[in-house]
Amino acid sequence: MAPVKVTKVLCIGAGYVGGPTCAVIALKCPHITVTIVDLNQARIDAWNSPDFKLPIYEPGLEDVVRQCRGRNLFFSTDVEKGIQEAELIFVSVNTPTKKSGVGAGFAADLNYVELATRQIAAVATTSKIVVEKSTVPCRTAESMRTILEANSKPGCHFDILSNPEFLAEGTAINDLFKPDRVLIGSLQTEEGKDACAALAAIYANWVPEAQILTVGLCAFSSVNALSAICEATGANIDEVAHAVGYDSRVGPKFLKASVGFGGSCFQKDILNLVYLSESLHLPEVAAYWRQVVEMNEYQKRRFSKRVVDTLFNTITGKRIAVLGFAFKADTGDTRESAAITLIRDFQSERAFVNIYDPQVVEEQIWLDLDEASPAVPLENIKKQVKICKSALEACRDAEAVVIATEWKEFKEIDWSEVYSTMKKPAFVFDGRLLVDAEKLREIGFRGHHHRPPCSLMKIR
């Protein structure tokens, strides 16, 4: 059987993965109709907004959507219609870490993945290729296959593929235009390989074939895990190592000290490894990965303690400017952002906090701070925290500035003006190694000749 030539693609989930990925597919494959569906009406309305105020911020994304929307890229809440018409379906729904039950705090909550899979089985009347695209643990595709086969209608056949995303928020569009590699996992049956070839043919419209890697269904889900996990799950450690080697982020780009990592995937993936390791009775492996997360939390605590210690052991009643709330620059995503932890710590020390971020909306900041301090009423949080419209506004009358996100504009702040509006002595705590200490001294600031841990700089 020859691989099907796909002309209609559906993506279930219009978030950080599904939206940009399928928008780029639409741009690069004008012969394919791409529909992105989501049950969140407000999110779909934003994707369809006349002024292109998209629900997520990603450099270059608006330009891609402007070129394709209404031509071969469509956004809708009609999930059933999308399923019926599509030949290939990406499942790209949210997979947060479980907050309760077995594996709470570590295992991925696959409820949305299962619901989407069951809906595909219930609605589909023709055969489909179903692609698992969410950030999920090893063997999820196998579970999806079991659900689809158990609930499929007569004459309906489902081929399951895994196609993990390796996007870095802030550079996602460029990552999609020029990926280091595209990984596609499939069953090593004739049908599985044909389905794999059909998806590979889509990417081949702009990705060199040498960079499209096809592996067994479980192999790449163990990326960054140890050989013990590969052995226990049936993954091939050589395939895993080969796939990791294609990622340009493994190296200097990733090895940069900061106040701590965040984001929607990295911590979640590590916690999944902890849960998977424990499930496979590999306690030493689980302990190793758990320590990575614990070290990240320690780094955040160490940073906030340094702020308190330097401000004469108390920040009670003092005003601290926090520049940046997104987990990193060039994204509006705040998931697991270090800024949330720092601000919560400052709140508990009864400090006043001014926040400025160029992309994160006010509603999201209040939502995150409310969730971070469940025992504190939001009205009380709002008495301590102020959201500002600019970096200069945030720094006014502050005794310390904390750089929590490496936005480019923070490098270009008029630090002379900042200093003139701050209380003295004034302090800058650079959590992202962003500012040029020597340049600040030349402007008139006095500081340490060497950066201590956490890139602390005292400004007299």
Alpha-carbon distance of 285 to 274, in angstroms, equals 7
What tens-digit pLDDT sequence spans the chain (460 residues)? 456 789 999 999 998 889 999 999 999 999 999 999 999 999 999 999 999 999 999 999 999 999 999 999 999 999 999 999 999 999 988 765 556 555 555 445 567 788 888 899 999 999 999 998 865 555 677 778 888 888 888 889 999 898 888 787 888 999 999 998 888 888 888 888 999 999 999 999 999 998 998 877 654 443 444 455 665 666 665 666 655 555 554 444 443 445 655 544 556 677 777 787 788 888 877 777 777 777 777 777 888 888 888 787 888 899 999 999 998 888 888 887 889 999 999 999 999 999 999 999 999 999 999 999 999 999 999 999 999 999 999 999 998 899 999 999 998 899 889 988 988 778 888 888 788 777 766 665 543 333 433 344 433 3
In the chain, domain spans: 8-245, 295-459
The CATH architecture annotation of domain 8-245 reads: 3-Layer(aba) Sandwich (3.40)
Q: In whole angstroms, give the CA distance from residue 350 to residue 330.
A: 31
d(CA 237, CA 253): 24
Query: Which residues does 406 contact at the CB level (< 8 Å), separation at least 6?
Result: 258, 324, 328, 329, 432, 434
DSSP string across 100-140: SSTTTTTSB--HHHHHHHHHHHHH--S-EEEEE-SS--TTH
How many CB atoms sit inside 10 A of residue 153's CB? 11
Q: What is the pTM of this model?
A: 0.60
Say whether 295-459 and 8-245 share the same fold.
yes
Three-state secondary structure call for residue 351: coil
- Name the residue among 1, 66, 76, 68 with its Cα closest to residue 35: 76
Q: Check residue 460 and give its pLDDT.
A: 36
What lies within 8 Å, CB to CB, of 420 at 6+ separation is none
Residue given tokens 């990552």 in the structure block: 175
Q: Give the 3-state secondary structure of residue 18.
A: helix
From the candidates 196, 230, 265, 395, give the one annotated as an active-site residue.
Answer: 265
Residues placed in the known binding site for NAD(+)? 13-18, 38, 43, 93-97, 134-135, 169, 265-268, 335
Concatenating the DSSP letter of every residue in 184-212 gives EEE-SSHHHHHHHHHHHHHHTTTS-GGGE
Give φ, ψ of 35 to 5 degrees: -120, 130
User: What pLDDT, on a 0 to 100 scale, did the predictor assign at position 225?
Assistant: 45
43-47 — which CB contacts under 8 Å span 24+ positions?
43/14, 43/15, 44/14, 44/75, 44/76, 44/77, 47/14, 47/19, 47/75
The DSSP secondary structure of 354-366, one letter per residue, reads: EEE-SSS-HHHHH
Can you name the CATH fold of 295-459? Rossmann fold (3.40.50)
In the annotation, is 29 catalytic? no
